[in-house]
Chains A and B, each alone.
Chain A
Amino acid sequence: KAGVTQTPRYLIKTRGQQVTLSCSPISGHRSVSWYQQTPGQGLQFLFEYFSETQRNKGNFPGRFSGRQFSNSRSEMNVSTLELGDSALYLCASSLFITAGGYTFGSGTRLTVV
């Protein structure tokens, strides 16, 4: 059974640009969450999608957005990139929102220069 797949693995962008990251959940999983991991702040919740609807949102500015498609695949977008957006972006999937046992992908390492 394939795990959570995130693409691309690595990305370098310039300040002011925008970026789109992709996540394919485990087959059958309908909930997809996104997390930002930095050395200073650790792992922080961005948002969670279930059945194409955003169900929860963390404390991030509106430059961070996402969406989920009918096949449960999800994308997150960051507009007007700042240096501080450099981080490992992790996607996690689970059967339902309240399942608790989220499975994480390997992440996309975003570097903003």
Chain B
Amino acid sequence: GQQLNQSPQSMFIQEGEDVSMNCTSSSIFNTWLWYKQDPGEGPVLLIALYKAGELTSNGRLTAQFGITRKDSFLNISASIPSDVGIYFCAGQLQAGGGADGLTFGKGTHLIIQP
């Protein structure tokens, strides 16, 4: 089946630093989603991307849908303590009026040192 390679697996950064993580796929998607999950909670949608080349921002977060439709990245600027958590990318392939379920990356664990 489809696989998403998400990197890095974990990041240890200082508060105020910028963060960058990415996902690559062996096959194309026509939707890319980025989620954040806190302990004991379900993933929360951060950014949704629907078109190849699309660049979308949500506050300090910026994500892009790769031109090849096989990759996406997420940047977080000026990190703050509440950014700690696990970030997941997810891809979805839609065709013929239907859609596959989401395929998730294994996550990037963000740890911020004060």
Contacts and interface: CB of A to CB of B under 8 A. Distances in A.
Contacts of B40: 106
Contacts of B105: 42
B66 interface: no
Interface stretch (B52-60, B70-78, B93-101): B93-101
A100 B103 contact: no
A45 B103 contact: yes
Contacts of B31: 100
A48 interface: yes
Contact of B99 (A4, A98, A101, A107): A98
A56 B42 contact: no
A106 B94 CA distance: 26
B50 A100 contact: yes
Interface residues of A, number: 26
A56 B102 contact: no
Interface string B29-51: 00101010000111111001010
A33 B44 CA distance: 15
B87 interface: no
Given A45-B101, A98-B94, A98-B98, A90 B42 contact: yes
22 contacts: A35-B101, A35-B102, A35-B104, A42-B107, A43-B43, A43-B102, A44-B104, A45-B101, A45-B103, A46-B101, A56-B99, A56-B100, A59-B1, A92-B42, A97-B98, A98-B97, A100-B31, A101-B33, A102-B45, A104-B42, A104-B44, A106-B40
Interface of A: 4, 33, 35, 42-48, 55-56, 58-59, 90, 92, 97-98, 100-107
